[in-house]
Every structure is written in C-alpha cells, then in structure tokens.
Structure 1
Amino acid sequence: MTNAIRIKLPASLDSLTPATVEPRAPRRNEVLVRVRASSLNYHDYAVVIGALKPAEGRIPMSDGAGDVVAVGDEVTLFKVGDKVLSTFYPTWLDGEPELNGFASVPGDGIDGYAREFATVAETALTKMPANYGYDEAATLSCAGVTAWRALVVNGGLKAGDTVLVQGTGGVSIFALQLAKLAGATVIATSSSDEKLERLRKLGADHLINYKSVPEWGAAAAKFCDRGGVDHVVEIGGAGTMPQSIRAIRAGGHIALIGVLAGREGVIPTSELMRKQGRMIGLTVGSRRHQLDLIRAIEVNGLRPVIDSSFPLLALGDAFRHQASGQHFGKICVAVSDAA
C-alpha cells in the first residue's frame, strides 16, 4: 500500500485527503511507474477546488515524473529503470487535437499523479530530458508543452520576432525562455516591479507594470518596429484580451491559453478583424509536441524555473501558495518523499 492524495466531495483545498493505494501490476502495453515528482498547474487548481467537478475520490495532478519499475507484455518503448514523464493527453499521440475535453486527462477525467505508483499505458509517457531532475521534468507536461505549442507549433516562432508574455507563471516563463532561445525580443508584463526585475534577469527585453500602465497593449506596441508584437501568449482570457489585441501588429498572432482574468467579456472583435490577427485557442498539446520539446531541450539546455517544492502530504499548502500569487515559476511536489 502506498501514499496518495484523494479529493473528497465537496471539493476544496481542505478536502484533499491522504489515502493508501495498492499498486496494480501492468497489463499488456502498460508500465508501472514510481512517481517521484509532480508540479502544479492552474488546471489542477481548478480540479481540487471543485471548479471542474471532479469525481469522488479522484487522485489529482496531471503531471508526473518517475521511474519505470515494471513492464507488461509487449511493451517496446520503455524498460525497467527508464526515467519517464507523463503526457497531459494520454491518448492524443499526434495529429489533430482530440475533442473529448478532459475525459482522459490525469487528475481530472482519470486518476492522476498525486500517488507514489501509477500504472499507465506506455504511450501515455515519454522519456525525461537527459540530465533533468524529476522536479524539472515534472514541469514540462502541461506548462512547457503549452508554451512550445503556442509559439513554435502554432506561432511559427522565428529569430527577430517579438513576443509578449503575461505574468510570471509557468507557461509565461517557459514562453520567455523559448522565445529568447529562438532569438526573439520579449516584452513581459507583471503587477510586481520585483518580479519584473527577475524577468529581466531571465532575458526579458522590455518590462511593463500593468497596474501602473493600464493601457499596456499600446505600450507594448510602441516597442515594436512593425506597429505591434508578432505573438501574445494570452493567459488572462477575456479580461486581458482587449489589450492583447491592441498589442499585436497587422497579421499578429494571439495564443489563447488561459482564463485567469475571466471566462467571458467584451472583446473588440472589429479591431482583431481590422488587424487581420490570428487568435488560436489551445490546451496543452500532443505526445508528439512533448517529444519535440524534449529534443529541443536536450539541444539548447533550457532549465525550468522552479519556485518551491512541497511534500505530497502538504499538497493543500502547495495550492494555497499558488493561489496567493506570490510564486515565480513552477511549484513542484516531491511525491515519493512524502512520509
């Protein structure tokens, strides 16, 4: 029997309950993974507070990194001892997105990685990047792949582009890092001058405090020779979308990723049309996207920015830290180290 965390209904941070789970032996094409680390995403937070209506007893957390400790018959991708990383959509391997919502997502539609052992299909995993620790790898499945798909896959990011990122969460920092590695200029926004200075040290070229500069979209556009930015990594949603539209150049690209500033609101669609901008909604990516990101990491040496790590049995405290907005980068969970 092993340590795990389950959600008791009604879901809340106080309903996260320690539990014991019997590891299941892998069947054909499955592997048993000892989970070493996970990391927090906004999606996980929405699950554990009940916004996404989890099932009774659901084990949360979409991200998981660990070791293969057993393999079932006909497994060809991994062997015992391999260091592996979960995928956000275990059944979306390549090609066009699936339209099954979060039904197959660990920690939401199925049990996730807030447990010491997980038995999953071999295709629900990739290898970890070489020379990565478990906590570093656990930051990639959701936040890293989202930033990669937003800028590289959908945006066609290239040297000389200008990228606008919002805030200091995992996706935004990964986007900043990927943009700089590609030779792009980065404009970063935050409500904290202290955090803006940390973004500068990560390579941000221009900084905007959106509290002191409410019209930050127009301010961002003034930094650009082409009348606006090439890409916006939009994590706010309806509340920030008007400024993002103002920020883009003619033909610019907005990657709509989050809803932190509202799910609904007034959007200046006529301005988007006038600029002939592209707005592409996305949720994470496929196994192929994760494989491509990992290959790039192994070439360029990108390292995730990790704010802090909590033991599994303090998962509620980890989410409270996330909700406080004080973090900078990813918050991790040491799963197997829980007592």
Structure 2
Amino acid sequence: MSVFRVMGICLPAMIFLSSCAGVQESVRNWDAGFLSVEGGADGEREVEVTVDGQPVKFLVDPGFGAMRLLNNSAAQQIGLRPSAIAGGYEIGPVMLTSRSSTAQLDSENYTGPARFHWFGQDVTTRADGLISPVVLPYGTIRFELGPSQIGEEIRSLPLEGSGIYGVSGGYGKLLVRDDIIRVAIDLNVEDAVASADVGALLRETNGGRFVGVSEEREIRYGVVRPVLRLVLDNPLIVAGLRVEWVFVEVERAGMLAQEDSDPETIIVTARTNRNDRDYRLTLGQAQLRSCTFFEFNNQASLLSFNCTFG
C-alpha cells in the first residue's frame, strides 16, 4: 500500500512524509467554499492552476501524502530547482525520495507561495501531477460517486490535515484497540490493501486466515509489492463501511497461504517495535459501493462517507 512511517524526527535536509506533523504549512483558506469532483476511477477530478505563471493541471487524489506532487516532466518544464528540503515516502521496504521547491501558485481561492514536490519519474498520465484534498484551498472537497439513496447517512473519521512543508497528513484516523490506523482511498483499485503491520493487528483483533497465493500489485507511484488476501472472521468497520477482507503486503510473490500458518511467517515485513509500526489501510472502489459521496471537510477536520450502511 502507500504511505508513511512516522519517523519521529525532523531533519533540515530530509523531511519524512509523516513526521513532525505539528509544524503546519502556511497555505490555508478553508473558509473559501466547496469543490465537487467525480469519484469514479475515470471521473473528472482535475483542477487547473498556474505555477510560476505556467498552466498546470492537477488530479485531485484522496490517497496518502498531503502534498502537491508534480510529474517530474512538469517540474522540469516549469523550471523548478530543488531546495534543501526533500521528502521521504515509505512503501514497505521501498523509500522514494522527492525533491521540492517553492513557487508562485495562482488558483481560484489562493494566490501566493506554495511548496511543490516531485519524484524522479512521472506519477500520473492523466494530468501534470497529483494534489491532496487537504492542501486544496476549500473548506470541503466532495468526491461524487452516485445518485442519492434511501436510508443514506453520514459517518466520519477524524482527518489529519497537512503537516510540515505540505507532505504529511491527508488521511482519516481509525482507532483499533489502542492503535491508530491511517486510512486513505485509492479510486484506481477495486480492493482494500493493508500494510503488513495492519495485517498482523487485524489477525489479533478481528481474527482471520490467509487464502490463495501472494501476487504482485502496484501499491502507489509505480511501486510494486507482493500481497496476500486476508479474510477476516469479524469485519473491520471503517466509519460504518464493512471491510471483510484485505490484501496484505508480504515479503515475496508466490507465497502459498496454509490454514495452520503462523502469521509471523507470512507477514514477514511486520515490525516488532510498536513505535516503528506502519499502520495504513487503503480503501478501494469495492468498499464504496453503497456510497453517494465521500468528502474531506478541512474546516471540521473530518473524512466523511455518505452511504447506506448495512
């Protein structure tokens, strides 16, 4: 899956994406209205801005990483020069390092300096980059999924807003036992995907068994990781949404699940030190089937789902 490990440190030249969340980026205009975009896999959710006077189209992305992430080709075309501040984005054992620079941002509700990141490769073919809802200058960003339904209601998770230099945050927070699972959404995939640490946690709290053979899947930003299906004895409830099984990151592809398997031999990438654990869960389209919309309420710091809950 995608996202960050809390490092607990701030380094002047390297800012890890989920660390130092108490330092807030200055770009804020959360009273400035409402933005509605299409939430389907191919839905229109592009926003147009200018960066240093050049037109840029961002795809609004509800996944992990509270940042404005340009394609490498777009950053080069704009002429951005990397500063001393970089970002570290951790996906299992893989660490992606982004470069960053401040530039003049002109958009509907904000004009001024803002920080932009980019990796060594492009991150989307649909636009010039990706932008998180929590760094968009709107009070609420709604992802429309379908027509209104009888019996629908809104349920919410606390929302972690953007943090230091516009990189950390951008996820909902789900309390399981005494641990907080970071929850994001990937509109390009069908199924939920969990980190190894979440897989180990859910085996303890919800029970379950691994089935099938592990296979490789793209997690985020082109990073491919092996995953194995975990069928839960008791569904995980995420703001009213039922998650009955998840793909869990494992060590290698081709691993065969067995009924009597020790989970520690399967989820070999789970961390033993609780303070270092990477609790992250990405919901896919399957978990949103009963929903009319979900939205990021930046003013109230809520990630909300409007659905019919079974």
Greater RCO (CA < 8 Å, at least 6 residues apart): 2
Q: Same fold (TM over 0.5)?
A: no
**Higher relative helix content:** 1
Bigger radius of gyration: 1
TM score, norm. by length of structure 2: 0.30
Task: Give the alignment's TM-score, normalised by structure 1.
Answer: 0.29
